[in-house]
Amino acid sequence: MNINGRVWKYGDNVNTDYIIPGRYMELTEPEEMAKHAMEGLDPTFVANVQKGDIIVAGNYFGCGSSREHAPLVLKYVGVGCVLAESYARIFYRNAINIGLPALECPGIAKSVEQGDDLMLDLGIGTVSNVRTEKELQFTPLPPFMLEVLDAGGLVPYLRRLDKW
């Protein structure tokens, strides 16, 4: 599984209120919530993000509340992947469960700039920066997690297995 996209770079401690401000929790449709993705941190994000773009962040991405809405709005706005130094565990699990790749990549925050193009190979755990021609290793996902992502999330994965 490969992902190619343009970088949206953010720092450490990007919390779930930055990703989807709490005032939008009354919305019920993911498409409506996605119109407010990253609004708490970057009001230009939704207007400029393109399908497949990649969020790169520092440490503890997705900290704060345990709301599943945070990775969901990123997926619905078209983000192809989140690469971070580290994650809040609940955000990480929620991202995988809804089908949004969340990858831990040591050194990524210092290795890319806003707007860089990245190429990821989820199978072997590499990320290549087109501009610098440098390659980093990220913590590869186990095969069953790749299957969950390939299915589009945990629920579609379980339906494929006819276990639901």
In tens, the pLDDT along 18-63 reads: 999 989 989 999 999 999 999 989 999 999 999 999 999 999 999 9
Q: Tell me the whole-structure pTM to 2 decimals.
A: 0.93
Output the pLDDT for position 131.
Answer: 95
> Is the Cβ–Cβ distance between 104 and 84 less than 8 Å?
yes
> Is the Cβ–Cβ distance between 130 and 143 less than 8 Å?
no
Closest C-alpha to 68, from 33, 104, 103: 33
> Is the Cβ–Cβ distance between 58 and 107 less than 8 Å?
no
The helix/strand count (H/E) of the chain reads as: 8, 7
CB atoms within 10 A of CB 82: 27
Cite the beta strand spans of 51-116 per DSSP E. 54-57, 81-84, 102-104
| Domain limits for position 125 | 2-160
Output the pLDDT for position 163.
Answer: 56
d(CA 122, CA 124): 6
d(CA 42, CA 104): 22
- For tokens 């297995």, the residue is 161
Indicate which CATH number applies to the domain containing 39: 3.20.19.10
d(CA 155, CA 6): 28
Convert the pLDDT of each residue in 37-49 to its tens digit: 999 899 999 999 9
d(CA 99, CA 2): 14
Residue 106 has pLDDT above 90, yes or no: yes
Output the pLDDT for position 66.
Answer: 79
d(CA 33, CA 2): 27
d(CA 14, CA 163): 35
Output the pLDDT for position 164.
Answer: 56
Domain count, the chain: 1
Cite the beta strand spans of 68-125 per DSSP E. 81-84, 102-104, 117-121
